[in-house]
Chains A and B, each alone.
Chain A
Amino acid sequence: MDMHSFINFFLLPGIVQGSIYALGAIGITLVFAIMRYGHFAHGDLATFGAFIALAFTTVLGLSPYAALPLAVLATGVFAVALDRLFYAHLRAMPKIITTIASFGVALMLRSFVQVVWGVNTTSYTRGITRPENWFGIRVKSHEIVTLLVAIALVVALHLFLTRNKWGKAMRAMSDNPELALFSGVDNGKVIALTWIIAGGLCAASGFFLGLNTELKSLMGWNILLPTFAAAILGGVGRIEGAIVGGLIVGIAEELSVLVIPGEYKVMSAFGILLLVLLFRPTGLFRGKVL
Chain B
Amino acid sequence: MTALLTMKNLRGGYGDSDILFDLSIEVAKGEIVAIVGPNGAGKSTAMKSIFGLLDIRAGSIAIGETDITGWAPNRIVKAGICYVPQVKNIFSEMTVHENFEMGAFLRKGDYSAALDRVYNLFPDLRTKQKATAGRLSGGQRQMVAMGRALMLDPQVLLLDEPTAGLSPKYMEQIFQISRDVRDSGVAILLVEQHAKQALAFADRGYVLAAGRNRHEGPASELLADRHIAEMFLGG
Contacts and interface: CB of A to CB of B under 8 A. Distances in A.
On whether A and B touch (CB less than 8 Å), the answer reads yes
Interface of A: 165, 168-169, 171-172, 174-176, 178-186
Contacts of A178: 85, 88
Nearest to B92: A175
A171 B73 CA distance: 19
6 contacts: A168-B94, A174-B93, A178-B85, A179-B89, A180-B102, A183-B103
A172 B102 contact: yes
Contacts of B77: 182-184
Contacts of A165: 101, 105
**Interface majority SS (helix, strand, loop, mixed), chain A:** helix
Interface string B183-197: 000000000000000
Interface string B89-105: 11111100010011101
B85 A183 contact: no
B74 interface: yes
A213 B167 CA distance: 62
A175 B91 contact: yes
B90 A179 contact: yes
A101 B57 CA distance: 33
A178 B92 CA distance: 13
B119 interface: no
B5 to A, nearest CB: 16
Most buried by B among A165, A175, A178: A175
Contacts of A169: 102, 105
Interface in B66-121: 73-74, 77-78, 82-83, 85, 88-94, 98, 101-103, 105-106
Contacts of B105: 165, 169, 183-185
B206 interface: no
Contacts of B85: 178-179, 182
Contacts of A179: 85, 88-91, 102, 148
B93 A184 contact: no
Output the residue of B74, B78, B89, B102 with the most chain A CB within 10 A: B102
Contacts, number: 62
Nearest to B81: A182
Contact of B94 (A172, A181, A186): A172
Please classify how large the interface on chain B is, using the bins under 10, 10 to 19, 20 to 34, 35 or more: 20 to 34
Nearest to B107: A184
B89 A168 contact: no
A286 to B, nearest CB: 10
B152 interface: yes
A169 B94 CA distance: 11
Nearest to B134: A175
Contact of B51 (A168, A175, A180, A182): A182
Given A169-B105, A183-B77, 14 more contacts: A168-B98, A172-B91, A172-B94, A175-B93, A176-B88, A179-B89, A180-B91, A182-B77, A182-B83, A182-B149, A183-B106, A184-B77, A184-B78, A184-B152
A110 to B, nearest CB: 36
A162 B36 CA distance: 41
A163 to B, nearest CB: 11
A182 B83 CA distance: 7
A165 B100 CA distance: 12
A175 B99 CA distance: 11
A172 B97 CA distance: 13
Contacts of B149: 182
Nearest to A166: B105
A171 B101 CA distance: 12
B102 A168 contact: yes
A168 B73 contact: no
Given A169-B105, A175-B93, A182 B88 contact: no
A179 B146 CA distance: 12
A182 B73 contact: yes
B135 to A, nearest CB: 13
A176 B90 contact: yes
Contacts of B102: 168-169, 172, 179-180, 183, 185
A181 B74 contact: yes
A180 B148 CA distance: 11
Contacts of A185: 74, 102, 105
A169 B101 CA distance: 10
In the A-B complex, list the 7 residue pairs whose CB atoms are closest, starting with the nearest. Answer: A184-B77, A184-B106, A181-B73, A175-B91, A184-B74, A175-B93, A172-B102
Contacts of B83: 182
A34 to B, nearest CB: 13
A172 to B, nearest CB: 5
Nearest to B101: A168
